Amino acid sequence: MSIGLLLSVADWRGALALSVLPTLLAGVCFLWVVRAVPLSETPRIERKDLVLLLKAWRSRKGVRLVAVVSLYNMALIALLSMIPLYLTKVHTLSPGKIGIIFAAILIGRAPAQPWVGSISDKLGRFAVLAAGNGLAALAVRGLAFDPTFWVMIAMLAFGVASLDSVRAAMLAATVDHAGRNESTTLGFAFTLLDGVGAFGAVLAGIAAGISWGAMFCLASALTGGAAVLAISNLRDSARPKSPKSVALIDGESMTIEKAKAEHARQYWFL
């Protein structure tokens, strides 16, 4: 929003120069804050840890989770990169108005993230990912039918909020799946989010060159694919396992009935 308002009174060079000031002030303030941040001593990552981490991600569920993360962020970046251009080309809005609309769209997602994260703790990560991506796919698909201005704004806000509100659940799902080396896992997740996801902007630009309807259909297809893969992982998680796969407790043997009860307790987080 600030950039949009600056562009209404200054040129691009002045707006970019002024936009650096908040980052500069944050860096200066961090010089005083850094002493209050406790040091985190993490154990050295051994080769066996990397092997186990790689094995977890090479599993069928791991590959699908990688695809979910990649498709999800490709859709999100495709939308965020094209929204300002879409509002300029199709609705001929001024930079100030575009900045206000874009800020309103992004602010709407903030209150939903803690709430969605709490739901994912209760219902599971993949249930939330499937719902968020599915709702976003429907909202973005509706934009291809050229709705009226205020309906378009509402659908854009709902689609972006549905996608971005599940971001925390997405990162939690990667950590839950790996089960170890949280920092390495999060680094891998952000590589997928920002690295592979940037390809979504390229595809969105190509699709927008054809038509804006094609661009919205592309974003809808990407997030719809993420929803389908999340549902697939959800079904695998719900599939009952053999009682033989339940770990023994304190070296004691378990009967079939006890094994089934333990499996149910672990699945329903009782």
The per-residue pLDDT for range 77-132, each reduced to its tens digit, is 999 999 989 999 999 888 778 888 888 888 777 777 778 888 888 888 888 999 99
Name the pLDDT band for 153 (thresholds 50, 70, 90).
very high
Name the pLDDT band for 155 (thresholds 50, 70, 90).
very high
Alpha carbons 123 and 134: distance in angstroms, whole number: 16
**40 or 230: whose pLDDT is higher?**
230
60: its two tokens: 């069928």
Question: Which amino acid does the sequence have at 228?
Answer: V
Whole-number pLDDT of residue 270: 42
Alpha carbons 223 and 165: distance in angstroms, whole number: 14
The full set of domains in the chain, from first to last, is 1-41 (no CATH), 46-239 (1.20.1250.20)
Residues 61, 182, 78, 20, Cα dihedral to 10°: 180
pTM recorded for the entire structure: 0.73
Helix axis angle for 125-143 and 149-164, nearest 10°, is 160
The answer, yes or no, to whether residue 221 has pLDDT greater than 70, is yes
Question: Which amino acid does the sequence have at 52?
Answer: L
Alpha carbons 160 and 106: distance in angstroms, whole number: 7
Percent of the chain with pLDDT over 90: 27
